[in-house]
Structure 1
């Protein structure tokens, strides 16, 4: 890679990621707004389907995430061919997993929706939407692999530009298919599904072109048959705990939404709107955490352990400052902003009651995101998996039910449990990072390599 040092500053990596995430957020908001013009049932089906799709993506994120970290480490160690091979395997394996998921979702949309307790009157709409968008899940798998590989080479601008293009095309196609504009047929929810798949297909084609030229040696079509068992083992070693970690988070969120639904419809609406406000709050902090993971993985691969260790704290302090300011702004402006979403005074009151708790939530979330990503970057993914498995199961899922339902504290009790979960995971991750376990192991391995190389040189001199 050329000019790698220039590209790998925290800000240079973070701001394109932020723009990409922000545009993805706008894409979802525009989707919801336009689909609401069809019917409330259509909105419910899209929301339900997105939860289903989020759950199944964990199957290929395992490969893509592990591959991304290894690509950054190998490039940092100047093992460009290994990085290239890992990128190729990530793409081909993700394609295979995505193809299998697409087949299942395309063939069995109605039984799957019924099994997940979707109301019977919504099943016809779900059959249409899940079969088309779910049938294109292979595109999501390929996008994930390509995006992650490209981003971890240090090129975070490429995926950002593609996100911009996707937003423009998706909104235009949604408008055309929903309202029958510009001579297009008026297809309603079918049109929204087709619009989603078309945008993803176009994005995959552009990302694929970018991926073929992402490494020092261009990738040819015949290279896609490459498979290295040892390197794939490294991908799984790092990747499978990340998949478990993500699965724990997805299912804990599903459980929390189910608890809130048990409390009442107004509370569920308030949580949904607060989730939107919180996304604005932590999005830049999350971008910094993702950029930090890329930067530390490169430094770790290059053997710059002290710099990697300090970089985590620098990013954490920057991120904390950003999310605290954002949370304070939302606290001050929250009531009028919530009023833009709904005129229901009960829902607004529930949302306003959570604004103060959000100020406590966001620093814990930032601590958790930054330090867990730092640990993941050096390959300590099993530790982050175990703390997530424990805290998300016991606190985020169990204590949320106890506080919210058992003790009758409602939405406030659930938020308190969410705050507790973030700080527990963050504190455990910080303790692990301060111990420098993986960094010391890597330093020891480097020292052994130097001793071995020195011995080989001495033997060569004696032979002469």
Structure 2
């Protein structure tokens, strides 16, 4: 592992030092950054998959309680990620230019900014948690569980924000190993915490003997607490490594330094983060609107929709991992002033991601019954979940194009136009079609609309990738 890290550092140094890179070296560097990032993304979605499976064993109401607020949790999650990206992209550009001193300065200033933002966002989440299930049109039977789940999620937002910041900074410096390790650890701890928090005390038979297993029996509340506690451990690991062990970014001195962001740093962060945050808000707003469209279809449809979204994430999370690598490669290449290399890395990452997610789509179609079956024992939910998951499998290659091209544009600090493209695609195509098809086709109509929209989005992102405007930092 240490030799691989040294090899990655050496290849990244070729970018910063302006030395030529062969195609083989470009592919090796892309793979070296992408694989750990994919592991990080997969561990995150596996954690949600575990939550869904554990809570799903409690029945449809418990599953629907989490599914109802899932789009809103993704909204808050995305806002935290966007704010962190506004600073980490600046660090990537400075590292590409070899300016490690200013990179550390941006890092130090970012801590105060992102924690202030996350505390304010947590306060908003707590204040709306009680009424949110009712606003989303959920059945009264699941209001209490949904409200409590979202309340606990909101309280852990500052921890989640710190984890995003530390992981993003390490990735932009080329260190994918530590965020990946932290993600896997978080996934494992989530299983452990959920095991003891979700279920009540129970007896495990071991041949002629039995073992009494402790349990809090908190149900949906236990799932939220388990996830939050796992996030705490991951945040501590990534932050400790970033601030004390990272060879280029560790902070030597905190005392006597200015912790508030400089005007230029904050202005650049807002320029990068604001379009991303607004785009994520309107996309999640569209997802919330989709939830509103799905909610009248009944608890079975809500639960099937939630499980299918979680299952599909196993396919598209590799795309987000490669997009993280693309952001690092493009950011450092542009920071070093190497535009031809920037374009080559953009094409390598996008087309590799399309191939991987296309293969994942085939696997998802073939094994949809087994995937959904592990999350719920309810036949009606399972059958509907399998049907909609197979519809979405056809969109995976073009979804990959949109995801990874967006990561390329983020690395170039070009976020406004791609954000507007996402906004137009999801609102003008997906929501319009979903509203038209849901009354007659039910949940299947909603997912057909999603499939068509993802193909359209991938196409327009590929068109923009061929142009040159996105490289004008």
In which range does the TM-score fall when normalised by the shorter chain?
Answer: 0.7 to 0.9
Structure 1: gaps spanning 5 or more residues: 443-464
- Structure 1 residues 218 and 371: CA distance shift in structure 2, 3 A: closer
Cα offsets for 1:336-367 (capped at 9, x unmatched) = 55455557666555455556643431111011
- Aligned equivalents of 1:42 and 1:275: distance in 2? 16
The structure whose residues are more often helix, as a share, is 1
In structure 1, which of residues 215, 221, 229 is the aligned counterpart of residue 254 of structure 2? 221
1:5 CA displacement: 4.0
Aligned to 1:398: 432
Structure 2 counterparts to residues 444-459 of structure 1, below 5 A:
none
- Structure 1 residues 236 and 108: CA distance shift in structure 2, 3 A: closer
- Aligned equivalents of 2:311 and 2:215: distance in 1? 35
- Aligned equivalents of 2:125 and 2:294: distance in 1? 28
The secondary structure found in structure 2 opposite 1:176 is helix
Aligned to 2:278: 244
Aligned to 2:165: 145
The secondary structure found in structure 1 opposite 2:98 is coil
In structure 2, which of residues 90, 97, 105 is the aligned counterpart of residue 77 of structure 1? 97
Aligned to 1:186: 216
In structure 2, which of residues 329, 342, 362 is the aligned counterpart of residue 328 of structure 1? 362
Taking structure 2 as the reference length, the TM-score comes to 0.82
Question: Does the CA contact (< 8 Å) of 1:364 and 1:419 recur in 2?
Answer: no
Aligned to 2:55: 35
In structure 1, which of residues 126, 133, 144 is the aligned counterpart of residue 153 of structure 2? 133
- Aligned equivalents of 1:243 and 1:369: distance in 2? 16
Structure 2 counterparts to residues 24-423 of structure 1, below 5 A:
24-37=44-57, 40-106=60-126, 109-126=129-146, 128-177=148-197, 178-180=199-201, 186-189=216-219, 190-213=221-244, 214=246, 216=248, 218-219=250-251, 220-222=253-255, 223=257, 225-263=259-297, 266-335=300-369, 337-341=371-375, 350-351=384-385, 353-354=387-388, 357-405=391-439, 408-423=440-455
Taking structure 1 as the reference length, the TM-score comes to 0.84
1:242 CA displacement: 0.8
Structure with more relative contact order (C-alpha pairs < 8 Å, separation 6 or more): 2
Cα offsets for 1:407-464 (capped at 9, x unmatched) = x34444433432332233323222222221143x46xxxxxxxxxxxxxxxxxxxxxx
1:35 CA displacement: 3.0
Larger radius of gyration: 1
- Structure 1 residues 126 and 288: CA distance shift in structure 2, 3 A: closer
Aligned length: 439
- Aligned equivalents of 1:312 and 1:51: distance in 2? 30
| Alignment RMSD | 3.0
Cα offsets for 1:85-131 (capped at 9, x unmatched) = 22223322111122123334446642455444454454544554444
